[in-house]
Amino acid sequence: MKLHRPTSPETRVEFPIPTGNALSGILEFKAGTRLPLEGTSVHDQDEISFILSGKLSATSGGESCSLQAGDISFIPALEHHWALVLEDTRLCYVLIPRTEGR
């Protein structure tokens, strides 16, 4: 096992996995924040987010849901998504590179 410990809440940590380098970090958002500010977000990696505190409403792939502390979300690579922060929220995310052909 290899430990990767962020040194501050804003620190992003890269760690090698068989498909490339995964990226993780912790983010904090104030209530009323829209993510992104306009439109949708999309990226080449699968995204797993762990909601540490707060609440947000998220839409991904045309489906909407409410996320709160203790929830875990998965957004597949290349899926358009956005969220509205309903309460001050803190989350941890991991971006995982896709393998060839997936």
DSSP E strands: which ranges in the chain? 12-17, 20-29, 34-35, 45-60, 63-68, 72-75, 81-97
86 occurs within a structural domain? yes
73 occurs within a structural domain? yes
Spatial neighbors of 99 by CB under 8 A, at least 6 apart, are 18, 19
57 occurs within a structural domain? yes
80 occurs within a structural domain? yes
Tens of each residue's pLDDT in the chain, 102 residues: 445 556 666 666 776 777 788 899 999 999 999 999 999 999 999 999 999 999 999 999 999 999 999 999 999 999 999 999 999 999 999 999 987 654
Q: Which CATH number goes with the domain that contains 26?
A: 2.60.120.10
46 occurs within a structural domain? yes
41 occurs within a structural domain? yes
Domain enclosing residue 74, as ranges: 18-97
Distances from the Cα of 85 to the Cα of 15, 29, 30, 54, 74, angstroms = 28, 7, 7, 8, 17
Provide the domain count of the chain: 1
